[in-house]
Amino acid sequence: MTRSRVRRMLRLTQAGHLHGLVGDLYEAITRLPDRLAALPPEQRPRGPLGAGSPARRHLPAVPFTTPATVAAVVLGWREPADRPALLTTLVCSATATALTAHLVRTVNLPLLLGDRPVPSPGERKAILRRWHALNHVRNIALTGAVLAAHAVIHRQDPWSSLPPR
């Protein structure tokens, strides 16, 4: 019973992280932050959740991803064989969440919002370089969380393959 709950929670975790990963890849491939930063201030998003803000794509997954990850770790901790993968899922999830919060604060707010002064071209280039570098790290963390959750979901109980007595 508990194992099936852990699997359900980890599937939610995977869905949320895959949502974030696809959003990050979309932003990186289309160079969305670069395009938003190049807009005149009056055309950039108003506020962190304004139309066009990248934060709007990431927020829908947060309410179920974080609680599902924590619940899976709490419920699954009784199974020693799952602990390394559960801990990896939790650490990778926390890393991705912390990087997202950091990027919103240090990139989205100063660079993408129309209600802020426009950074100089040199500052804008440095901020965008930081976004791309940290986005790569965030994508690695999201991938790690998805793969670690997959390892727990698909781990076979060694006793399940034994013939019945």
Residue 116's domain comprises 2-156
Nearest one of 114, 113, 103, 109 to 24, comparing CA atoms: 103
User: Does residue 146 sit within a domain?
Assistant: yes
User: Does residue 72 sit within a domain?
Assistant: yes
User: Does residue 163 sit within a domain?
Assistant: no
How many independent structural domains does the chain possess? 1
Q: Is the dihedral of CA 110, 19, 13, 152 positive or negative?
A: negative
102-148 residue pLDDT tens: 888 888 777 776 566 767 888 888 888 998 999 999 999 999 999 99
User: Does residue 164 sit within a domain?
Assistant: no
Residue 12: its pLDDT value, please? Answer: 93
Least confident of 47-61, 71-85, 131-145: 47-61
**Averaged pLDDT of the chain:** 84
Band (149; pLDDT cuts 50, 70, 90): very high
Highest mean pLDDT among 38-42, 91-95, 153-157: 91-95
